[in-house]
Amino acid sequence: MKMVVMNPVRKYLLFLIVLNPIWYAVAQTSPMMKQIISRFAMQQKLCGQEKIYLHTDKAFYLAGENIWYKAYLVDAMKHTPSDKSNFVYNELMDFILWSNTSLSIC
């Protein structure tokens, strides 16, 4: 039977491949990482962000056409309906016309 001698570079690479998942596991459970995650969660609860999704009936409009749209106000992290705000303010801008509207969220 022939004895296999490994190259030192190959030994080092094998060592890194074996220990790589262990390093990730240690880094994910460190107290510093837990503290960062808990502070981020606390900040998200205190001043959470919202996103607005706006659906229109067409991609392009001509002058004088009605614009039909529906707005969805959702929590930025969970993408569930948000109850923090009750209004969505909309600005339609053109080179000639500028109008402001507000839409009540039911």
Residue 83 has a pLDDT of 81
pTM of the model as a whole: 0.47
> How many whole angstroms separate alpha carbon 74 and alpha carbon 79?
5
pLDDT at residue number 29: 64
Instruction: Collect all residues with Cβ–Cβ distance below 8 Å to 54 and sequence separation of at least 6.
Output: 69, 70, 71, 72, 90
The C-alpha atoms of residue 31 and residue 36 are separated, in whole angstroms, by: 9
Taking a C-beta distance cutoff of 8 angstroms, is the pair 14, 41 a contact?
no
Residue 76, pLDDT score: 82
Q: What is the pLDDT of residue 84?
A: 80
pLDDT at 104: 62
Residues of the chain with pLDDT under 70: 1-6, 19-29, 94-106
Quick one: pLDDT at residue 33? 79
